[in-house]
Amino acid sequence: MIGILIQLIISWLLLWLFEKKDLTALGIKPTKGRLFNFLFGFLTAAICFTIYCLTTTTLTNNHWTLNNDFTAKNFATSSWWTLNSVLFEELIFRGALLYILIQKIGINKACLISSIAFGIYHWFSYGVLGNPIQMIYVFFSTGIWGLMYALAFAKTKSLYLPIGLHLGWNLFNIVVFSQGPLGQQLLINDNNGKLLNGLPSLVLSLFQLFFLPTIVYLYLRRYERAEGKSEVT
């Protein structure tokens, strides 16, 4: 939490130095529309990951079992860790720096730079540096999602939608389905089935990469049209 507070202080300084703005420029003040964006992002990402995960285990004849040793305290601790990691990344890649870039060079170039930086960052966080094939895959996959998060911030002028998307996916990935760095969490995969390969593997990989970004793209188009109409009226 101290790290997040330091990030907020640095963000405020950057916004003031370059744009004479404060943290409200990041759209952090809660409104009905922003809370709806957060909820939409969280639920959509959570549902998409659940579909992906359950489909994968069904096709490989694996099963999920409830971890009886996982307590409410464990859930709270793991969820808090996940929230902090999401906020840390969002404040770096979709916070003050992206806002300033948008003002200086426009939305498209700024979001592209943010997505490239997000992809490179995951070379280190995923520990794939030095493995060319994995580096290409990680850069491409996380870069696409980085672009989705960046556009979500740029189009809504708020961090609520990207945080909701990021948190929904990561929480279900790490805490619910135990696929992240925290090990066994709420549900445990027995891993007794076959490995997924061939066409099913390709289809699910494409689903994981593009399905949620496509939904968000369509949502943002609708959001922009609604905002345009409200400005006219």
* Domain segments of the chain as ranges: 2-232
Q: Give 10-residue mean pLDDT values along the chain (233 residues).
A: 91 96 96 97 98 93 93 97 97 97 97 97 94 95 97 98 98 96 93 79 94 98 84 59
The whole-angstrom separation of Cα 12 and Cα 95 is: 10
The whole-number pLDDT of residue 147 equals 98
Q: 145-177 burial, b if ≥16 CB within 10 A, otherwise e?
A: bbbbbbbbbbbbebbbbbbbbbbbbbbbbbbbb
- The greatest distance separating any two alpha carbons of the chain, rounded to the nearest whole angstrom, comes to 59
Q: pTM for the full model?
A: 0.94
The whole-number pLDDT of residue 222 equals 95
The whole-number pLDDT of residue 85 equals 96
The whole-number pLDDT of residue 233 equals 58
